Amino acid sequence: MQRTELVIFDCDGVLVDSEPLAAAVLAEALRELGFAADEAFVYRHFLGKSVATMRRIFAEELRWELPADFVDGLLPRLQRRFRDELRAIDGMAGLIRGLNVPCCVASSSSPDRLHLALELAGLLPLVTPHVFSATMVPRGKPFPDLFLLAAERMGAAPGRCVVVEDSEAGVQAGCAAGMRVIGFTGGAHAASPAHRAMLEAAGASAIAASAAELPALLGLGEQ
């Protein structure tokens, strides 16, 4: 195993337990448009993917055109839900404080959503300014662009980066970037054996069910 130079965390479902909240808000908004959707549909099609990718999936695969102002209308609803219910994943703050290598965040979420989620969870001071959004690259996950950008900006070789991801698209992106990927199932949406199997099939080299399991899997103490 090469020496780890950088740990790259996804945000939603890894640092903050936001995926059930976001899925509920999105499914509700889609139903209001007359599109039959529930949280399971949202997870299946959009977990870990950017807004641009979501629009492409609707247009090309689902043959449904989202209104131009759909995302703008969605954000305030999501922000209200976050302010009422969002919490950090247990143990992540302590894990980040204890790392002996640099870390950053690379997420499919928009910068505004990222900033709010990290701020509400009390994690923003621990990762600022090293927060990267899929809006900064041409292609979102499962393409490697975002992780490669994060590594470049942080001055780390891709082969010496470790990614912590909760989604199939995120694991695929990390693997495509030539990075070691640890699948994370500590979020409320990811606890099932099926989710773990999905992450393993996507290429995760190990699975952590909690923040407490990550230090040993990161292997930083051996450096």
Q: Enter the tokens of residue 118.
A: 């990290």
Residue 57: closest CA among 72, 69, 70, 42 = 42
Q: Dihedrals φ, ψ of 9, to 5°? A: -100, 135
142 and 218 share a domain? yes
31 and 107 share a domain? no
Most confident residue range from 7-11, 52-56, 63-67: 7-11
Q: For residues 119 and 96, what is the distance between their CA atoms, to the nearest angstrom?
A: 15
184 and 216 share a domain? yes
Note the pLDDT tens digit of each residue in 59-79. Answer: 999 989 889 889 888 889 999
Q: Total domain count for the chain?
A: 2
Note the pLDDT tens digit of each residue in 130-182. Answer: 999 999 999 999 999 999 999 999 999 999 999 999 999 999 999 999 999 99
Look at residues 62, 85, 108 and tell me which one is the last residue of a structural domain.
Answer: 85
Look at residues 85, 102, 123 and tell me which one is the last residue of a structural domain.
Answer: 85
For the cut 80, the answer to whether the pLDDT of residue 221 exceeds it is no
92 and 61 share a domain? no
DSSP β-bridge partners for residue 88: 16
CA 171 to the chain's CA centroid: 10
Residues with Cβ within 8 Å of 223's Cβ and at least 6 positions away in sequence, in order, are: 3, 4, 100, 101
71 and 164 share a domain? no
60 and 96 share a domain? no
Size (the chain), residues: 223
- Give yes or no for a contact between 81 and 21, defined as CB atoms under 8 angstroms apart: yes
Q: For residues 146 and 136, what is the distance between their CA atoms, to the nearest angstrom?
A: 8
DSSP β-bridge partners for residue 104: 8
107 and 70 share a domain? no
109 and 218 share a domain? yes
Q: State how far the alpha carbon of 20 is from the alpha carbons of 86, 105, 156, in Å.
A: 10, 20, 33
141 and 56 share a domain? no
- Amino acid 39: pLDDT: 93
| Residue 42 domain boundaries | 19-85
Residue 113: closest CA among 136, 93, 92, 133 = 133
DSSP symbol at 176: H
74 and 108 share a domain? no
As a whole number, the mean pLDDT across the chain is 94
The whole-model pTM stands at 0.91
31 and 129 share a domain? no
Note the pLDDT tens digit of each residue in 15-43. Answer: 999 999 999 999 999 999 999 899 999 99
